[in-house]
Structure 1
């Protein structure tokens, strides 16, 4: 089975976004700056992270599971207004620094999967990957691996009837999220746990 790309308008090419999580310093280094993280938890399948989104027009809070074996960063956003989606999946290479296991690196491969729990999932940003590959920001081999990872995610979600927990269970992956009340307390207090 292969990924069927939707028709899309050409995107402007931009370099691969690489982010770092320093679990000792409790910081998330993004392309827009350094952010404080209130919760990091390493687990058998990767790393859980949660932080507030200060002064963001749409997003209040973010939780993510970095899952290296699946090649994904699985995100849940808490929106100021109506929920836009249930999960946002970044196709990525995730690794720990060889000389410092406290630092996790996420190399985003442009492709994303948006999940509406129990209903559907859609692949987005294929135009960004195509533009980046044409500009030489990502190799043909890396792009091929990104498409294969996206294909596996979409196939798994379809088999799980678009229930993320069922998809993860079929992959042998168990994760935990912050309960809504704990997330709300973290949003207001910024408590480190």
Structure 2
């Protein structure tokens, strides 16, 4: 099953991950003004993290949403810690010409802005988003899971 809902701050997506070895289901908010995709995963096994935040450029033209991933991500353990990950992927993408130098700088600045905001919000994603003027809602898994 797939669910898409536009909202004031972006686009909400929920879907099953079919045949994925670690992840059963995924929910995400594409937030263009923050240049991030905030994700929550439902894992087959133990929870690996509470939120995964992709740094990206997000655009919407009509009903077509486009996400250009900038390879830099943050892992959030709600109320405990957050960390920037995949810096090596960003640098490799830049070296290969997939990411321009201005995009690289923007990705690093965005990731540090998010990490600073999460730190001030004591690693609460909802409190960080509220501080940015953004409110999002998440569905209980049983409201969109097909199997």
TM over 0.5: yes
Question: What TM-score do you get using the length of structure 2 for normalisation?
Answer: 0.96
Q: Could you tell me which residue of structure 1 aligns to residue 88 of structure 2? A: 127
Confirm whether residue 164 of structure 1 aligns to residue 125 of structure 2.
yes
Q: How far apart are the structure 1 equivalents of 2:139 and 2:105?
A: 34
Q: How far apart are the structure 2 equivalents of 1:53 and 1:136?
A: 30
Structure 1: tracts of 5 or more residues without a match = 1-36, 189-193
Q: Deviations over 1:133-176 (max 9, x none)?
A: 12221111011000110011000000000000000000010011
Structure 2: tracts of 5 or more residues without a match = none
Question: Larger RCO: Structure 1 or Structure 2 (Cα < 8 Å, ≥ 6 residues apart)?
Answer: 1
Q: Could you tell me which residue of structure 1 aligns to residue 21 of structure 2? A: 57
Q: How far apart are the structure 2 equivalents of 1:38 and 1:147?
A: 31
**Which structure 2 residues correspond to residues 1-193 of structure 1 after superposition, within 5 A?**
38-97=2-61, 101-183=62-144, 186-188=145-147
Q: Considering only CA atoms, is the larger Rg found in Structure 1 or Structure 2?
A: 1
Question: Contact between 1:60 and 1:187, CA under 8 Å: does it hold in 2?
Answer: no
- Structure 1 range deviating more: 81-90 or 124-133: 124-133
Q: How far apart are the structure 1 equivalents of 2:78 and 2:129?
A: 13
- Superposed structure 1 runs of 4+ greater than 4 Å apart: none
